[in-house]
Chains A and B, each alone.
Chain A
């Protein structure tokens, strides 16, 4: 492998990560706008950049949308004083935000977000087209729990500790349902004779005519609930539960270290929505239009745009739920995870296996 190839791969990875981070920043802005819309408020609409903000109509519109707000927020988090409490375990206190951030960004590696047709064969637009696709995402995402648990422990104070312990118990409980809920998707994709494996591109290719969400609505629902729990979003935000635990695991964190936790949460949401789109919403495919991406570069750009649009809709769903539903109690969450989600996902697999047996028999 020569140097230029490595440099090329690094550049591609950097571009994808930068886009993911920008999207996460925009998701934070979207959260504020959506929440204010749901609550009948206006949301951020004052921050303006000197030159762009002065353009007639356009500048005022962008300012109204709050598009410059993420910039101001990021700058504030960077320049703020960064207090480190005396009672913390310094090493793990500094490690925790990084441990939360890295898995969130790494998971994007195997997520295909578009399709390009080269010499008549469709190829995925993805950083690494791995055979184990979904398993890689699960493996990396399962490491995200260390950010929360280490932050809770290293802060050496009671509220963060409770938040960290609760959140990590919740995350490992829902990982089971998360993994089991998507098995029907791969049972369907790996029809006799296909070599799909656990590849995510093959899953999208298999949804050319009909999205998986219509074939297996129970799987989709279970997966969505498990994703909510894994990303620590309300109604499952045991990590924070600010009405009981001040600010949960991140109570002792300020300035940019808190910013990393915040960014990691939204990166998780964006990647999770992307995975949901790939598995259940047909990725970049639109229903009843079999192959409109054969147009080379135009088709490729179109496919990425369609994929992004679908992902944004799922991100919107995340926010909609957050500002609509109240929070679960901790024991309710554990009960739901072990006595409802787990048996239901096992039953779902059995039911779907029977359905497939009948389907293949016909």
Chain B
């Protein structure tokens, strides 16, 4: 039963993710990205990581993609599609993908991450919200703090850019007057 569900959700996720990058309609891409995230969330559930699954749905499927859809709908991106692919983006994407696959292969070759014993050991951490939180604020304190600083920097940058354009346009308008 679990095996069947694993194959079902993996297939859904992979097919949806593949179609996201192949489809030319940005709305279809955004909707299939939701399906990808829902599939990943289902895989998290099969792993017993309910917290991650819920956060995945609430943050990515529930909020991030809504913003994507906003931009696509408001800017009417459909008119902006062209036959010419974005070469730097293509190279970067293939590069990152290759790195991820290589990393997974190295882990697989080393073997000790995928034995049943290590998997059983790792389940309690993600199983309950409590142990998850305790681990985050003890063992993984530094990564959590670093991620927080990174997000803060990104947020400040966005606010700065947003304010700058508005201020400069306002100044220009006042200068003209």
Known A130-B50, A132-B51, A172-B63; judge A142-B58 contact (CB<8 A). Answer: yes
A319 located at the interface, meaning its Cβ lies under 8 Å from any Cβ of chain B in the complex: no
On whether the beta carbons of A135 and B54 are closer than 8 Å, the reply is: yes
On whether the beta carbons of A139 and B57 are closer than 8 Å, the reply is: yes
Q: Report B130 CB to chain A, min CB distance, Å.
A: 5
B61 located at the interface, meaning its Cβ lies under 8 Å from any Cβ of chain A in the complex: yes
Q: Which residues of chain A from 137 to 171 have a CB within 8 Å of any chain B CB?
A: 138-140, 142-143, 145-146, 149, 153, 161, 165, 168-169
On whether the beta carbons of A198 and B27 are closer than 8 Å, the reply is: no
A43 located at the interface, meaning its Cβ lies under 8 Å from any Cβ of chain B in the complex: no
Known A131-B129, A195-B130; judge A142-B57 contact (CB<8 A). Answer: yes
Q: Report B65 CB to chain A, min CB distance, Å.
A: 8
A290 located at the interface, meaning its Cβ lies under 8 Å from any Cβ of chain B in the complex: no
B125 located at the interface, meaning its Cβ lies under 8 Å from any Cβ of chain A in the complex: no
B63's partner among A165, A175, A195 (CB-CB below 8 A) is A175
CA distance A169 to B67 in the complex (A): 9
On whether the beta carbons of A168 and B70 are closer than 8 Å, the reply is: yes
Q: Report A95 CB to chain B, min CB distance, Å.
A: 8
Known A138-B58, A153-B27, A175-B63; judge A131-B50 contact (CB<8 A). Answer: yes
Chain A residues touching B, range: 20 to 34
Q: Report B101 CB to chain A, min CB distance, Å.
A: 29
How many residues of B are in contact with the other chain, CB < 8 A? 25
CA distance A197 to B127 in the complex (A): 11
| A136: chain B residues within 8 A (beta carbon) | 50, 54
| B61: chain A residues within 8 A (beta carbon) | 139, 142-143
A145's partner among B55, B56, B62 (CB-CB below 8 A) is B62
CA distance A161 to B61 in the complex (A): 21
CA distance A288 to B34 in the complex (A): 47
On whether the beta carbons of A143 and B129 are closer than 8 Å, the reply is: no
Q: Report A88 CB to chain B, min CB distance, Å.
A: 13
Q: Report A33 CB to chain B, min CB distance, Å.
A: 34
A1 located at the interface, meaning its Cβ lies under 8 Å from any Cβ of chain B in the complex: yes
Residues of chain A having any CB pair with chain B under 8 Å: 1, 92, 130-132, 135-136, 138-140, 142-143, 145-146, 149, 153, 161, 165, 168-169, 172, 175, 190, 195, 197-198
A-B contact pairs, 14 of them (CB 8 A): A135-B51, A135-B129, A138-B54, A138-B58, A138-B62, A139-B58, A142-B57, A145-B66, A146-B66, A161-B73, A168-B66, A172-B63, A175-B62, A195-B128
Residues of chain B having any CB pair with chain A under 8 Å: 1, 27, 31, 34, 50-51, 53-58, 61-63, 66-67, 69-70, 73-74, 127-130
Kindly list the 9 A-B residue pairs having the minimum CB-CB distance in the complex, ordered from nearest: A142-B62, A139-B57, A135-B54, A139-B58, A139-B54, A197-B129, A132-B50, A132-B54, A142-B58
